[in-house]
Each structure stands twice: as structure tokens, then as C-alpha cells.
Structure 1
Amino acid sequence: MKIFYKTRATATGGRSGHTELDDGSLGFDLTRPGAGQTGVNPEQLFALGYAACFDSAFAMVAQQRKLEVTGKTSVEVGIGQRPEGGYALDIDIHVETHGVTEAEARALIEATHQVCPYSNATRGNIDVRLHVTAL
């Protein structure tokens, strides 16, 4: 695989510590979900990245298909304990489209899910559900 871009982040203190890009351009204090403290958690950071990545892939696929469509992507990321032990993520992707029918929107979102790097990384090991609203 030809690598187009690579970045590196370092975390200290786990879910109650700090994470920062090694170039110093972005960093966050971390907190556990529901702890009532200021900070973010890894699931929130994952949701931010996945939403941006999927939205960009959506625009690319729409352009390739020559569709006049706009959209907005929201990603919900949950975490829970697996019955066999350990933890797993659970994801819902919500895409709101303007300019295409619901059937066209569904086909577009399915195609986007095949090219998005986050979708490719999670496929087969994380439950991901796609939700489409065509307006």
C-alpha cells in the first residue's frame, strides 16, 4: 500500500491522562465517560475522526457519480463489554442528504462505506449501522 500521510500521537495516563499529536498541534486532556470532569474520551475522538472521514468519502463518491448532492454526517460511537470478555465499539452512522431520492442516497452511502478508510478499518470487527435521511 502506498502511504499518502501518516501522523503520530502519544498518550500518557490512559483514559484519565492526556493525549497529544507528536508535532504539538493538537492535544486533549482525557476523562472517563460519565466522570463529570473536563476532558474528552477516546470514543469522542474516534467519532470526530470517523464523521470527518466518512463525510469526505461521501463527497468524493458523489462527485465520481456526478450527483448534485450535499450531506451531513454524524457518527455515534458506543463502548460496551463483549459477552466473551473484553470491550468493543458499536457505531451508528447517520447521513442527511439533500438533492437525491432516498434510494439514491442509500446507494451512495453504501458505496461510501466501501471506500471510507475508517469503514474499511472497522469492517468485520465492529458493528456499524448506516442510517440515511434524504431531504
Structure 2
Amino acid sequence: MSEVGKVLYTAKTRTTGGREHGASRSSDGSLDVKLSIPGSGRIGTNPEQLLAAGWSACFESAMGIAARKKKITLPADLAIDAAVDLNLAESGYFLRARLNVSLPGVDREVAQALVDEADKTCPYSKATRGNIDVAINLA
């Protein structure tokens, strides 16, 4: 059973047409994307790209929270390269993911502590933990 807490925000989208010929639009209109199958050459993004973008943005914010708690200033050129693989096996489709974190100028031990704390607090990390293979690498 999930934890009960105060709802801070609810994202609402409507998707029609699925990943092949679809479109997704948020209720406030700020997200309005066409969807396409990876490698199809059609205009549009796909769910794996959306997951990679959302997760990496959330993870970076979680790192910011961890850094503020430790009174550390994150570098302006901090970057997270996220990769989400769509795989197919006999049992069906599944995902794998990698987050490659770059914290230039931050001591490696300090950087690893920030990454570890972000992994504990990021809602995307929590949602995927134990459900898909994830590697978080410090560059």
C-alpha cells in the first residue's frame, strides 16, 4: 500500500493513438507532443524519451535538495545523461535505465554522496527501484 501524504501536484494528460500514431497533451496545454515508434523516422517522441527526460530532471532536483542540506553549491554545468532502453525477451517487453551524472569540480566522494542521496529521494528512482535494472554512474 502506498504512503498517504499531501498532494503537491497532479499531472494530467490525455493520450490518443498510442505510441505508433499518437499524441499526448497535458490538461494545461504546456505539454503537447506527437508520439512515434523509436526508429520509425516519424515526427514525434516516444515514452522512453519522455521517461528519460522526466527522470533526469527530477533526479537533478533531488541532487539540488541534497546539496542544499549539505550546504554545497552545485556546479552550473551539472548534467545528467539519461538512457532508457526498451527491450524484448521471451517474457515480453521490459525497460532498463542508466543515469550518467556529471558534477565537474566536485570532489568525487562528495559527488557520490549527493548522487546516493538523490537516488533515495527522487520519486522516479523510488518508482523504478526493484522494477527495472538501473545503473547510476558518476562521470
TM over 0.5, shorter chain = yes
Structure 2: unaligned runs, 5 residues or longer: none
* CA shift digits 1:24-46 (9 cap, x unpaired): 22211110001011111111111
* Residue 46 (structure 1) aligned with residue 41 (structure 2): no
* CA shift digits 1:30-83 (9 cap, x unpaired): 100010111111111111111110111111101101123322222111111244
What does residue 14 of structure 1 align with? 18
TM-score (norm 2): 0.89
What does residue 6 of structure 2 align with? 2
Q: Equivalences for 1:19-98 in 2 at 5 Å?
A: 19-70=24-75, 71-83=78-90, 85-98=91-104
* Residue 128 (structure 1) aligned with residue 134 (structure 2): yes
Amino acid at match of 1:63: R
Decide whether aligned partners of structure 1 residues 40 and 32 sit closer, same or farther in structure 2, where only a CA change above 3 A counts: same
In the TM superposition, residue 86 of structure 1 has moved relative to its aligned partner by 2.4
Structure 1: unaligned runs, 5 residues or longer: none
Paired with 2:68 and 2:109, the residues of 1 have a C-alpha distance of 17
Task: Detail structure 1 runs of 4+ shifted over 4 Å in the superposition.
Answer: none
Quick check: 1:31–1:38 contact (8 Å CA) kept in 2? yes
Amino acid at match of 2:11: T
Q: How large is the Cα RMSD of the aligned pairs?
A: 1.3
What does residue 115 of structure 1 align with? 121
Secondary structure, in 3 states, of the residue corresponding to 1:78? strand
Amino acid at match of 2:124: Y
TM-score (norm 1): 0.91
* CA shift digits 1:72-114 (9 cap, x unpaired): 222111111244x121111100111133211221121011100
Quick check: 1:69–1:99 contact (8 Å CA) kept in 2? no
Aligned length: 132
